Chain A
Amino acid sequence: MSLFGIIASIIDGVLVGSVYGLAAMGLTLIWGVMDVVNLTHGSMIVAGMFALYLLTSVLGITPYATLLPVLVGGFLVGLALYWIAVHRMIGRAPLMSLLSTFSVNLVLIGLGTAVWGTVLFNVPVSFPGVTWQRYTFPGTHLLAAALTAVIAACLYVFLYRTRLGKAIRAVAGNRQAAELMGIPTTRVLALAFALGVALAGVSGMLIATLFPFTLLSGDAYQLKSFVVIVLGGLGNPTGALLGGIALGLLEGLVTPFIPVSWTLVIEFALFVTVLIAFPRGVFALRRS
């Protein structure tokens, strides 16, 4: 493997990793605002994947035009999930919301497998790639990374430059103080949760433009999200994006040398190392 080959592999890893970062932003936003570990995250990623499949194959929409419906749909599903599984667990032991979201996740995955089974789906997406030396970066990877960058930038602007974003950050900082300053905190929690789910859905949709998937793919991506948010510092969306890029970089670096089956082993060795050595995250620049 030439040096160019390794560099190309790393660049491709970073492109894909940014999408993992997007998924993790959803998970970490929810954690940061309401101290809830959303274990429906994996099934919401899968829901995004299936939304892409259904909207393109059944309704004939072009793949990238599904982005907006997936965002909106994810948001609405997120609102529903908040009221069903999370609202009553706010302020109680973290284990409660962990268990309730875990159960909802099982129900959703169970329903999905009953309908679609666990066969492999593949959504054909073609987009012209870019060739560099002897290597071609797939257009889907480039576009997924570009869309991720746009969505992440929008999220940043929303959180730091709008009134509602201010309210979300205030609730993340201290819910009681925020409520006493006139912020309807219950609605803000529901909004933040829905936003986190929408991000999971969109990242799933983007991942499905890159790789084939099954109904059970969510677990693996949910695990990646955990690695990423630990790298990025819990509750920190900006850190999550950087964490995703770092994870992608690592995957790009090791794939030329190591069988794919080892990737998870390496990632989780990293996970444990980071937890022990950098409990606040490697990219914990600023907690929102």
Chain B
Amino acid sequence: MTAILEVQEVGKSFGGVRAVDRLSFVIEEREILGLIGPNGAGKSTLFNLINGVFRPDAGRVRFCGADITGASPHRVARLGLARTHQIVQPLEAMTVLENCAVGACFGRENLPRARAQEAAREAAVFVGLEDRLDTPAAQLTIAGKKRLELARALAAQPLLLLLDEVLAGLNPTEVERMIGVIRRLRERGITILIIEHLMQAIMSLSDRIVVLNYGKRLAEGTPASVANDPQVIEAYLGDPALARELAGKTRA
């Protein structure tokens, strides 16, 4: 297996807060890597360090073998690294299709307008927005906007997708549908790094999980081993009974 993303000793502080503290990990091609940790653990900051929103204070980030440390976000996006936002950021005045077309136009493939339109439609249909194509993004429900985030990222034909809490705020039915979409993404050969607070969902989706706490890696391994790790249980899951239940679910 080859690594698609390598994060080496990356650090970022805000004032006195070490949001991400000398963190290293690797994502293999076609893998779904889950990233979990309590609120404020540094998960979103890590995404921002990977895709260039923040420049790391220390360490390096390599994507497909190229050093992208401190590269501007649009350059990272063009290399094939797309992301969704924890707080949705639709282009409100544009329709669903136009939003996706922007992603397709300026993403990895750099498509001309007509082809971008096609890719946009395909991405929107893929996430289940086929009957909302001409709806202005501002008029979507929160579930719709989360889908749009994903569709727009997908339209860029990324190699690696960073998903920041795409399941948060969705009802159980919507969560199920979204999980289905993410599974099908992986079948298409897209590598995924996913942040999620819904334990059950992330345990069943991920091949491997990295647990962050105070910007540091607390644990790393299969969902089952992480859920059984006493350190993780103490720092994050809190309740050993809940952890056992989760571990049981992943084995089933």
- Interface-side segment among B24-32, B85-93, B177-185, B235-243: B85-93
Please report the C-alpha to C-alpha distance between residue A150 and residue B22 in the assembled complex, in whole angstroms: 58
Does residue B83 face the partner (Cβ distance < 8 Å to A)? yes
The distance from the CB of A24 to the nearest CB of chain B, in whole angstroms, is 20
Is B78 within 8 A of A182, CB to CB?
yes
Task: Say whether A182 contacts B107, CB under 8 Å.
Answer: yes
List of A residues within 8 angstroms of B112 by Cβ: 163
Q: Which of B120-174 contact A (CB under 8 A)?
A: 152, 156
The answer to whether residues A180 and B51 also contact, given A162-B113, A174-B89, A287-B93 and a CB cut-off of 8 A, is: yes
Q: Which of B73, B77, B110, B113 has the most CB of A within 10 A?
A: B73
A163-B105, A176-B89, A177-B89 are contacts. A182–B94 as well, Cβ < 8 Å?
Answer: no
> How many of chain B's residues touch chain A, expressed as a range?
20 to 34
B103 on the A face (CB < 8 A)? yes
The listed residue (B89, B93, B101, B106) touching A182 by CB distance below 8 A is B106
> Are A170 and B102 in contact, with the CB atoms below 8 A?
yes
Query: B94: which A residues are within 8 A, CB to CB?
Result: 169-170, 173
Q: How far apart are A96's CB and chain B's nearest CB, in angstroms?
A: 23
Whether A166 contacts B105 by the Cβ 8 Å rule is yes
Say whether B77 contacts A180, CB under 8 Å.
yes
Cβ contact of A174, chosen from B73, B91, B116, cutoff 8 A: B91
Docked pose: A178 CA to B91 CA in angstroms: 8
Tell whether, in the assembled complex, residue A181 and residue B77 are in contact, meaning their CB atoms are under 8 Å apart: yes
Q: Which residue of B lies closest to A286 (CB)?
A: B93
Give the distance in Å from the alpha carbon of A177 to the alpha carbon of B88 in the complex.
9
B72 part of interface (Cβ distance < 8 Å): yes
Instruction: Tell me the smallest distance from the CB of B113 to a CB of chain A, in Å.
Output: 6
- Of chain B, the residue at the smallest CB distance from A184 is B74
Interface residue? B53 (CB, 8 A): yes
- Chain A contacts with B in 236-288, Cβ cutoff 8 A: 286-288
Residues of chain A with a CB closer than 8 A to B51's CB: 180
- Contact (Cβ within 8 A) A179 B72: yes
Contact partner, B107, options A166, A173, A181, Cβ 8 Å: A181
Q: Is A167 an interface residue (CB 8 A)?
A: yes
- Docked pose: A180 CA to B98 CA in angstroms: 16
A287: chain B residues within 8 A (beta carbon): 93
Chain B residues positioned under 8 Å from A169 (CB to CB): 91, 93-94
Tell me if A182 and B113 are in contact (CB < 8 A): no
- Per the bound structure, the CA–CA distance linking A184 and B78 in Å amounts to 10
Contact A170 B74 (CB under 8 A): no
Cβ of B76 to closest chain A Cβ, rounded Å:
8
A-chain residues with CB within 8 Å of residue B53 when the two chains form the complex = 176, 180
Nearest chain A residue, comparing its CB with the CB of B107: A182
If the complex has contacts A163-B113, A181-B77, A182-B78, are A170 and B91 also in contact, measured as CB distance less than 8 A? Answer: yes
Residues on A with beta carbons closer than 8 Å to the beta carbon of B73: 179-180
Question: Residue A177 contacts which of B85, B93, B105 (CB distance < 8 angstroms)?
Answer: B85
Any B CB within 8 A of the CB of A225: no
Check B91 against A182 for contact (C-beta < 8 Å): no
- B residues within 8 A CB of A170? 91, 94, 102
Which residues of chain B in 33-86 are interfacial with respect to chain A, using CB atoms and an 8 Å cutoff?
51, 53, 72-74, 77-78, 82-83, 85
| A183 interfacial by beta-carbon distance below 8 Å | yes
Contacts of A28 in B (CB 8 A): none
Contact A181 B103, beta carbon cutoff 8 Å: yes
A173 near B83 with CB under 8 A, answer no
**A38 beta carbon closer than 8 Å to chain B:** no
Closest chain A residue, CB of each to CB of B106: A182
Closest to A186 in B: B72
Cross-chain contact B93 with A173 (CB below 8 angstroms): yes
Known contacts: A162-B113, A163-B113. The answer to whether A182 contacts B92 by CB under 8 A is: no
CB distance from A156 to the nearest CB of B (A): 15
A182 touches B74 (CB 8 A): yes
Q: Does A140 contact B (CB under 8 A)?
A: no
CB-CB contacts of A130-162 with B at 8 A, as 1s and 0s? 000000000000000000000000000000011
Distance A183 CA – B152 CA, assembled complex (angstroms): 13
Interface string of A24-56 (1 = CB under 8 A from B): 000000000000000000000000000000000
Sample (19) of A-B pairs whose CB atoms are under 8 Å apart: A163-B106, A163-B112, A163-B113, A163-B116, A166-B98, A166-B101, A166-B102, A170-B102, A174-B92, A176-B89, A177-B85, A177-B89, A179-B72, A179-B77, A180-B53, A180-B82, A180-B83, A180-B85, A181-B152
Q: Which residues of B contact A (CB under 8 A)?
A: 51, 53, 72-74, 77-78, 82-83, 85, 89-94, 98, 101-103, 105-108, 110, 112-113, 116, 152, 156
With A169-B94, A179-B72 known, 6 other A-B pairs at CB within 8 A are A163-B105, A166-B102, A169-B91, A174-B89, A174-B90, A180-B53
